[in-house]
Amino acid sequence: MNNDSLFKRLLSWIRESSESFDEDMTIQDVDENESFGVVDKQEHIENLEMVRRKVYSEKENKSMRRMEAIYRWFAVLFACFFTFVLIVTVSHMPKTGDLNNPANNEVAERYIKEGLKETGATNIVAGMILDYRAFDTLGESHVLFVAAIVVTILLRLDKKEKDGINTSIIETIGEAEKDDKIFEPKNDTILQKVSLIFVPIIIIFGIYVILNGHLSPGGGFSGGAIIGAALIMYLNAFGFEKTGKFFNEKVYKTVCFSGLAFYALAKCYAFFCGANHLDSHISKGIAGHILSAGLILPLDIAVGCVVACTMYGFYAMFRKGGF
Amino acid sequence: MRDFVQNFPLFSIVGCLLSSSTSSLLKGRAAKWVNTILIMCVGAMSLCVMIYCLKNGPFVYIMGHVPAPWGNEVRGGVLEGGMGLFFSSIMLLSMMGGRKKILEEIEDTKQNLYYILVNLMLCSLIALVYTNDLFTAYVFVEINTISACGLIAIRQIGRTIEAAVRYMIMSLLGSGLFLVGVCMLYDLTGHLLMSNIKESVALLSASGEFREPLLITIAFITMGLAIKSALFPFHAWLPDAYGYSTISSAAILSSLVSKGYIFLLIKIIYRVIGFDIVHDSLLLNVVFGFSALGIIFGSVSAMKEDDIRRMVSYSSVAQIGYIYLGISLGTKEGMVAAVFQILAHAATKSMLFISAIGLTDASNTSRKFTDLTGSAYRNKIAGMGFAAGALSMVGIPLFSGFISKLLFMRAAVNNYGKMMPTMIVLAISTILNAIYFMKTVVRIYSPERNLYEGREGFVKIHTKDQVFYTITVIIFIALNVALGLCSDPILDLISKGLDMFA
Amino acid sequence: MFGENLLNNYAEAVSMIIFAIGFTNLLLHKNLIKKIIGLNIMDTAVYLFLALKGYIKGRTAPIISNGVIEADKYINPIPSGLVLTGIVVSVSVTALMLALTIRLYKRYHTLDLDEISFRLRKEGR
pLDDT of residue A16: 64
pLDDT of residue B451: 67
pLDDT of residue A138: 93
Q: What percent of chain B has pLDDT over 90?
A: 61
Nearest to A143 among B61, B62, B146 (CB): B146
Nearest to A103 among C19, C76, C119 (CB): C76
Chains contacting C (3+ CB pairs below 8 angstroms): A, B
- Cβ separation of A139 and B140 shorter than 8 Å? yes
Compute the count of residue pairs across chains B and C with CB atoms less than 8 Å apart: 81
DSSP string across C13-32: HHHHHHHHHHHHHHHH--BH
In this predicted structure, the answer to whether residue A19 has a pLDDT above a threshold of 70 is no
Comparing A30 with B411, the larger pLDDT belongs to B411
C1 contacts in A (CB within 8 Å)?
88
Q: What percent of chain A has pLDDT over 70?
A: 81
Q: Which of C89, A32, A287, A315 is nearest to B171 (CA)?
A: C89
Q: Distance between CA atoms of B178 and B261, rounded to whole angstroms?
A: 11
pLDDT in tens, B153-184: 998 888 899 999 999 999 999 999 999 999 99
- Cβ separation of B179 and C120 shorter than 8 Å? no
pLDDT of residue B178: 95
Please compute the mean of the pLDDT values over residues B450-473 and round it to a whole number. Answer: 79
pLDDT of residue A25: 46
In this predicted structure, the answer to whether residue B502 has a pLDDT above a threshold of 80 is no
Torsion of CA A140, A143, A145, A147, to 10 degrees: -150
Q: Distance between CA atoms of B114 and B116, rounded to whole angstroms?
A: 5
Distances, alpha carbon B376 to alpha carbons B243, B360, B368, B439, in Å: 20, 10, 14, 14
B208 contacts in C (CB within 8 Å)?
none
Nearest to B187 among C23, C26, C53 (CB): C53
Q: What percent of chain B has pLDDT over 70?
A: 98
- Cβ separation of B113 and A145 shorter than 8 Å? no
Please compute the mean of the pLDDT values over residues C38-51 and round it to a whole number. Answer: 94
pLDDT of residue A28: 40
Compute the count of residue pairs across chains A and C with CB atoms less than 8 Å apart: 190
Cβ atoms B455, B323 nearer than 8 A:
no
Mutate to test the interface with B, among A109, A136, A272 (most CBs of B within 10 A): A136
Chains contacting B (3+ CB pairs below 8 angstroms): A, C
pLDDT in tens, C52-99: 988 888 888 888 887 777 778 888 899 999 999 999 999 999 999 999
Q: Distance between CA atoms of B22 and B120, rounded to whole angstroms?
A: 12
User: ipTM of the predicted structure?
Assistant: 0.95
Q: Which of B136, B138, B145 is nearest to B172 (CA)?
A: B145
Q: Which residues of B touch C (CB under 8 A)?
A: 135, 139, 142, 145-146, 149, 153, 156-159, 161-162, 164-166, 168-169, 172-173, 176-177, 179-180, 183, 186-187, 192, 212
Q: Which of B144, B147, B150 is nearest to B129 (CA)?
A: B144
With a CB cutoff of 8 Å and minimum separation 6, the contacts of B483 are B343, B344, B347, B399, B400, B403, B490
Nearest to B180 among C46, C79, C103 (CB): C46
Nearest CA-CA distance, residue C59 and chain B, Å: 19
- Cβ separation of A169 and C2 shorter than 8 Å? no
pLDDT in tens, B302-330: 998 888 999 999 999 999 999 999 999 88
The 10 Å Cβ neighbour count of residue B488 is 9
Nearest to C111 among A25, A99, A146 (CB): A25
Mutate to test the interface with B, among A95, A146, A276 (most CBs of B within 10 A): A146
pTM of the model: 0.91
Q: Report the first-to-last Cα separation within chain B, whole angstroms.
A: 26
In this complex, is the C-beta atom of B184 within 8 Å of any C-beta atom belonging to chain A? Answer: yes
Q: For chain C, what are the domain ranges?
A: 2-123
- Please, what is the average pLDDT of chain A? 82
C3 contacts in A (CB within 8 Å)?
88, 91-93
pLDDT in tens, A289-316: 888 888 899 999 999 999 999 999 999 9
A125 contacts in C (CB within 8 Å)?
62, 77, 80-81, 84
pLDDT of residue A54: 63
> What confidence category does residue B291 fall into, taking pLDDT thresholds of 50, 70 and 90?
very high
- Please, what is the average pLDDT of chain B? 90
Nearest CA-CA distance, residue C94 and chain B, Å: 10
In this predicted structure, the answer to whether residue C110 has a pLDDT above a threshold of 70 is yes
DSSP conformation class of B465: G
Nearest to C2 among A91, A107, A143 (CB): A91
- Cβ separation of B18 and A138 shorter than 8 Å? no
pLDDT of residue A1: 47
Of the options 1.10.3720.10, 3.40.50.300, 1.10.287.3510, 3.40.50.720, the CATH number for the domain spanning C2-123: 1.10.287.3510
Q: Which of C99, C107, A141 is nearest to B153 (CA)?
A: C99
pLDDT in tens, B74-97: 999 999 999 999 999 999 999 998
pLDDT of residue A39: 55
Mutate to test the interface with B, among C9, C31, C39 (most CBs of B within 10 A): C39
Cβ atoms A323, A252 nearer than 8 A:
yes
pLDDT in tens, A135-147: 999 999 999 999 9
In this predicted structure, the answer to whether residue A218 has a pLDDT above a threshold of 60 is yes
Q: For chain A, what are the domain ranges?
A: 6-91, 121-319
In this complex, is the C-beta atom of B101 within 8 Å of any C-beta atom belonging to chain A? Answer: no
A96 contacts in C (CB within 8 Å)?
8-9, 11-12, 52-53, 55
Cβ atoms B133, B150 nearer than 8 A:
no
In this predicted structure, the answer to whether residue A242 has a pLDDT above a threshold of 50 is yes
**Cβ under 8 Å to B: A residues 271-290:** 271-278
Cβ atoms B209, B81 nearer than 8 A:
no
pLDDT of residue A104: 82
Nearest to B107 among A93, A104, A161 (CB): A161
> What confidence category does residue A250 fall into, taking pLDDT thresholds of 50, 70 and 90?
very high
Residues paired with residue B76 on neighbouring β-strands, in sequence order: B59
Cβ atoms B168, C93 nearer than 8 A:
yes
In this predicted structure, the answer to whether residue A168 has a pLDDT above a threshold of 60 is no
State which residue of chain A sits closest to C86, comparing Cα positions.
A140
pLDDT of residue A29: 42
pLDDT of residue A22: 45
pLDDT of residue B211: 85
Mutate to test the interface with A, among B70, B172, B188 (most CBs of A within 10 A): B70
Chains contacting A (3+ CB pairs below 8 angstroms): B, C
C118 contacts in A (CB within 8 Å)?
51, 55
Count of positions (residues) in chain C:
125
Q: Nearest 5°: phi and psi at A146?
A: -70, -35
State which residue of chain A sits closest to B151, comparing Cα positions.
A150
pLDDT of residue A23: 44
pLDDT of residue B136: 94
